[in-house]
Chains A and B, each alone.
Chain A
């Protein structure tokens, strides 16, 4: 169990087509020992690059990385420990199972390289297989397994070494929806049981929110916010985080509506209209009878996936999505009122 400190990591590389690309522009992170830490961000934000750098399969251009007290990588002191020396384990999106080896041999591979003696090796492989519940397929080859099984083998290979650090690069993206949800909780319980410091990369914010002890949102190589799921959801640091997190996504209100609301709720205080962007999450909007709310709106469309009701409505020429956990008796084209408070609004400075 080890904590990880990442200081000011920058990564620049040169491509023929686009010239100089700054994949990471100065990342600072602290991952507490034994915690499940998520790197969340859209494609191209640098999360996989960061993971590779932490693993040691890519070199950082600038910065330092500490595993516990040990400096494993530093641009100034020119230290770059190999993955083997860092004692990390990693699971790739494609699982990277050795197709010509059996499940047993796949899991045993790192131990064999480390020259563990036969009996200990066998013991450890069976231990890992037990935890992942794959004892019955130890003799099969990856080609014969289902996606879910392959995923478990990949995990088995990772935990068998009881590494300092477990790195996961979108390991669940190739699974179907139902399997993904089951694997999520299994992954979490295994991690807790083994108290493995874990870094998990994903672009799926639902996944991040349900898995992470702590989340770091990345965009274009820069950390946007670090916090617990609740912190990120309720207090997004900027517009990007607010729009990225939350399903369905937050509504952005247009100037008209903002002015109208401000007249009633007075939330702008000293800020002027041109300098802010105001949003509100769909589930914070309560639908009431006409004229009983803050503003009036007209229902354009409604539907009920699962147990929620979603309403597409128009207020002050603004199209807004509202979500309610009850199924209301509202029909299309009804005129209704919307009720919410000053604290439900999320206000951001307008970044140019």
Chain B
């Protein structure tokens, strides 16, 4: 049938387009990072394979790659753990306990997630400075927790509401406290959701830019997105090779995450954003 062949053709073209669309800038980044001379207005494209960019940027004292990376990791992991934890506590109480404000809290959080960061960061800067936290991990961890909370809450809510309350009732009869029930029974049964939440909030925190830009001032506190964004050359020439090499290194952790856990990420996104 003609229609079947048209569809098949479209599918193949579609897949090719998808691959090119998604991978082109990504592959380009890798390509440049391995290239000695990225100047394309010279007569031919020169591709001289070199790892020099990586070597230089990894050992450079001017570009504190490892500081940035370390800061990013610490801040992302910390905020992801805390966000997941806070969200689980709340989600548990909302799905299992009756109290005024049950419905309000998720809606409120949803509303908060719509606030533009720019409307927060100005005043936040003042607050953070007053706390004495400027350029510290705390400056970023707490705002990042609030960034991740809405999605985290909706994912955990969605998951907990599918767990039967009979388990809780049985445990209550056995004498357990609510906190014990949460930790010994509900959370162990919610590993997929916990995992999705953790990974998603980690990715959001890792990629965040505006808060990091304003609330940190030097390499002691800066995260890698800011580091790479501000990476300028010495003599007005932007060292693209170094920038791309640093970018590749920065991107490796997240890529490993999505390669291994693509299923959880997609599941989490759909639970939180569509069904939630």
Residues of chain A whose beta carbon lies under 8 Å from any beta carbon of chain B = 80, 82
Contacts and interface: CB of A to CB of B under 8 A. Distances in A.
Interface in B1-40: 1, 3
A80 B5 CA distance: 13
Contacts of B3: 82
A80 B4 CA distance: 11
B121 to A, nearest CB: 44
Contacts of A80: 1
Contacts of A82: 1, 3
Nearest to A85: B1
Interface string B140-161: 0000000000000000000000
A69 to B, nearest CB: 21
Interface residues of B, number: 2
Interface of B: 1, 3
Nearest to A81: B1
Contacts of B1: 80, 82
B104 to A, nearest CB: 30
A80 B1 CA distance: 7
A80 B3 CA distance: 12
A82 B4 CA distance: 10
3 contacts: A80-B1, A82-B1, A82-B3
A233 B3 CA distance: 46
A82 B3 CA distance: 10
A322 to B, nearest CB: 42
User: Sorted from nearest, which 3 A-B pairs have the closest CB atoms?
Assistant: A82-B1, A80-B1, A82-B3
A82 B7 CA distance: 14
Nearest to A82: B1
A234 to B, nearest CB: 45
B190 to A, nearest CB: 28
A155 to B, nearest CB: 28
Nearest to A59: B4
A57 to B, nearest CB: 11
Nearest to B3: A82
B177 to A, nearest CB: 43
B6 to A, nearest CB: 13
A81 to B, nearest CB: 8
A169 B1 CA distance: 25
A292 B1 CA distance: 71
Nearest to A80: B1
A82 B1 CA distance: 7
Nearest to A56: B1
B28 to A, nearest CB: 33
B84 to A, nearest CB: 33
Nearest to B1: A82
Nearest to B2: A82
A178 B3 CA distance: 44
A321 B1 CA distance: 55
B79 to A, nearest CB: 38
A169 B175 CA distance: 51
A82 B5 CA distance: 13
B269 to A, nearest CB: 25
A328 B1 CA distance: 65
B4 to A, nearest CB: 9
A310 B11 CA distance: 60
A204 B3 CA distance: 37
B2 to A, nearest CB: 10
A309 B51 CA distance: 87
B63 to A, nearest CB: 45
A127 to B, nearest CB: 31
B101 to A, nearest CB: 32
A55 to B, nearest CB: 14
B3 to A, nearest CB: 8
A86 to B, nearest CB: 12
B1 to A, nearest CB: 6
B7 to A, nearest CB: 12
